[in-house]
Amino acid sequence: AQKVTQAQTEISVVEKEDVTLDCVYETRDTTYYLFWYKQPPSGELVFLIRRNSFDEQNEISGRYSWNFQKSTSSFNFTITASQVVDSAVYFCALSEPLNAGGTSYGKLTFGQGTILTVHP
């Protein structure tokens, strides 16, 4: 069975600190996609990044960076110089085929989420 584990339930930091959110996944598929979503206090789900299983390059977008390591089945998310506006729940998710042919993807398995609070 597919599984995503975000072991950190809550993290609290002070503004300008760096923070890393952990994500570990389990799957038997060789082709899959990983995602991070942000859920701010307003409640909507905001897509942040996707990574496919064949691309292990790390990615940086402004203060955000992602470290994908297939060998350890991890897809960790780091916020550098955190800000109060980063306070949100962050979800890691794993996307797998919907059908046996593997031609349709979309079923996302989500982790439990990590509540990040950044204090001024």
Q: Which of 19, 21, 27, 35 binds other proteins (CB under 8 A)?
A: 35
Decide if residue 43 touches other proteins (CB under 8 A): yes
Name the segment binding other proteins (CB under 8 A); options: 17-25, 44-52, 60-68, 70-78.
44-52
Decide if residue 44 touches other proteins (CB under 8 A): yes
C-alpha distances in Å from residue 68, one per residue of 7, 40, 77, 83, 118: 17, 24, 9, 24, 24
Cβ proximity to other proteins, 33 vs 64, nearer residue:
33
64: left (phi over 0), alpha (psi -120 to 50) or beta: beta
3 state DSSP class of 50? strand
Decide if residue 52 touches other proteins (CB under 8 A): yes
